[in-house]
Amino acid sequence: MEHFSIIQSLCRIGLGANEPAFRRQVERLQESLLASGAEKEAVVLARLLATSDKGSELRPSKLSLSGGMFRGERLNEKTPPPVDKETGAPLAEIRFPMDADTPLPILGFELQKALESLVMEWSNLDALGAMEVHPATSCLVYGLPGTGKTQIAIAIANRLNLPLVIARLDGLISSFLGTTARNIANLFHFANRYQCILLLDEFDAVAKIRDDPHEVGEIKRVVNTLLQSLDARARIGLTLAITNHENLLDKAIWRRFEVRIFIPLPETQSREKIISQYFPPLRLSDVQLGLVSWLTEGFSGADIETMSRNVKRYMALNPQEEFLAALRSYVLTNAGQGAREHQKLILSDQHELARALYKEDARVFNQANLASLFGKTQPTIARWLKAD
Ligand SMILES: Nc1ncnc2c1ncn2[C@@H]1O[C@H](COP(=O)(O)OP(=O)(O)OP(=O)(O)O)[C@@H](O)[C@H]1O
Ligand SMILES: [Mg+2]
C-alpha cells in the first residue's frame, strides 16, 4: 500500500506518547484495514499496538550503526539487482528495512536473548573495536520449515536498519557449466559493494547439485567459489544463511559460519505465546488456550498461524458451534501434522478426550474447565472421569 511506511512511522511515534485517544484511533485504523482486506498492513499495526502495550522497557532499543562493517554505497529503489548474465534472471531480491520494531519470532527465552545480543554486537561495532574484537560476521540459521528462520533475518535487518539482499540459491544454480560459480561470485561482488546484509536463503540448494555424478567438477568449483566468497566477505559485511537441511552442507562451508543457530519447534510456553499472537480477534479462555497448545504439540509457528486462520474462518461461519468443533474440523482437513496421538484423541469420543486432557494436566483441565469446554455440567464431567 502506498505511503504505508509513513503511516506506520506516525503510528509508532504516536503510540510512544501513551495517549489513549491516539491508541484508539490506531485500533480503528487497524480494524478498518483488516475489514478492507489489507491484512498485511493490519498485522503490522497489530504488532505495533502489541509492542506498545508491553511498555517501553521491552521495546527494542533504537540502534545506531557504526564502524567499518557496514561501509559501502547505499542501495536505493533504483539500484538494479545482480542478474544471471546468460538468462537475465535476477540473482537476488532487495528488501528495504521497514519497521525497526519488527519483532523476532517467538522463541524460547534463552534463544531470544542470544539473538538479541547478536543484534547488539552488530550495532555496537565501535565499542567492540575499542576492545579490539570484531562481531561475528557470518551466521547460519537452521531448523525445520516454518519455524521463523526467514522472519529472524528480516527482523535483524529491520532493527539494524539495513537492506537485505536476499539470494535464493536455487535461483542461482544454472544448468550451464561454470555459470553457477560465476553467479555466486557476482552476487557477493554486489553485496560487498553496498551497505547491506546478504541473506542466503535455502542455502542447502548448493549441496543438491552434488547428487548428479556428472557434475563433480562443477560442484567443486561452486563450493570453492562459495568458500572464497564467504572468506572475503567476512571482512566486509554481514552474511546470514538459512537452511532446513544442515546435514547436506559441505563440512568446510559449515565451518565458515562463526555463529550457528538451531531453531527448534516451539515448546509449550512458546506455543501458547504464538497462539495468543495469532488467534485474536477470537478470544480464547485459558482452557481453550491449553487445549490448542496441547493439540499443536509438534507444530511449527507457521503451522499454528495457518491453523489460527482455519479456526477463525470456521468460527466466523459457524458462530453457534462449540470451539471444539472448529478444532475437529481443522484436524480432519489437515491430517498428518504434529502429535498424531493428540489428533486422534480430539476426533475420538468426548469421554476419552476429557479423560486424556485431565491426565495430561489436572490443573488446566480441571472439572470446572472441562465442563465449560464441553458445554456440560461438572457432575457430568465427574462421571466421565470416574469411568476411567
Ligand atoms: N516462532 C514463531 N513465532 C511467531 N510466528 C512464527 C514463528 N515461526 C513461524 N512464524 C510465522 O510463520 C511465518 C513463516 O515463517 P518463516 O518463513 O520465517 O519460517 P522459515 O523457518 O523460514 O520456513 P521455511 O524453512 O519453510 O522457509 C512467519 O512469517 C510467521 O508469521
Ligand atoms: Mg524461510
CATH number at residue 140: 3.40.50.300
Query: Does residue 170 lie in a domain region?
Result: yes
Per-residue pLDDT at 299: 95
Both 107 and 238 in one domain: the answer is yes
d(C-alpha 347, C-alpha 89), whole Å: 48
Cα 100 to ligand 1 centroid, rounded to whole Å: 18
Q: Is residue 60 part of a domain?
A: no
Q: Are residues 227 and 103 in the same domain?
A: yes
Q: Which of residues 202, 235, 263 is at a domain's end?
A: 263
Which portions of the chain are predicted below pLDDT 70? 51-69, 175-177, 207-215, 387-388
Does residue 213 sit in the same domain as residue 119?
Answer: yes
* Domain boundary, last residue among 263, 294, 310: 263
Q: Which residues make Cβ contacts (< 8 Å) with residue 271, sequence separation at least 6?
A: 293, 296, 297, 299, 304
Residues 101 and 214 in one domain: yes
Q: Which domain holds residue 382?
A: 268-386
Residues with CB under 6 A from ligand 1: 105-107, 145-151, 244, 266, 274, 277, 300-302, 305
Q: Which of 263, 281, 306 is the last residue of a domain?
A: 263
Task: Report the pLDDT value the prediction gives residue 213, as an integer from 0 to 100.
Answer: 61
* 287/251 same-domain check: no
Using CA atoms, how far apart are residues 241 and 139, in angstroms rounded to an integer?
6
Are residue 272 and residue 249 in the same domain, yes or no? no
Position of cell 552434488? 210
Phi and psi angles of residue 199, each rounded to the nearest 5 degrees, phi first: -115, 120
Q: 44 with 79, same domain?
A: no
Q: Which DSSP symbol is given to 62?
A: P
**Can you give the pLDDT at residue 68?**
55
Q: Which residues have CB under 8 Å from 1's CB, separation 6+?
A: 38, 41
pLDDT of residue 215: 66
Tell whether 255 and 272 lie within a shared domain.
no
State the distance from the centre of ligand 1 to the C-alpha of 146, rounded, in angstroms: 4
61 occurs within a structural domain: no
Query: What's the number of domains the chain is made of?
Result: 3
Asked if 73 and 206 sit in the same domain, the reply is yes
Residues 259 and 272 in one domain: no
- Is residue 63 a part of any domain in this protein? no
Judge if 248 and 175 occupy the same domain: yes
Nearest ligand to residue 105 Cα: 1
Residue 102 lies in a domain: yes
Residue with CA at minimum distance from ligand 1 atom 6? 301
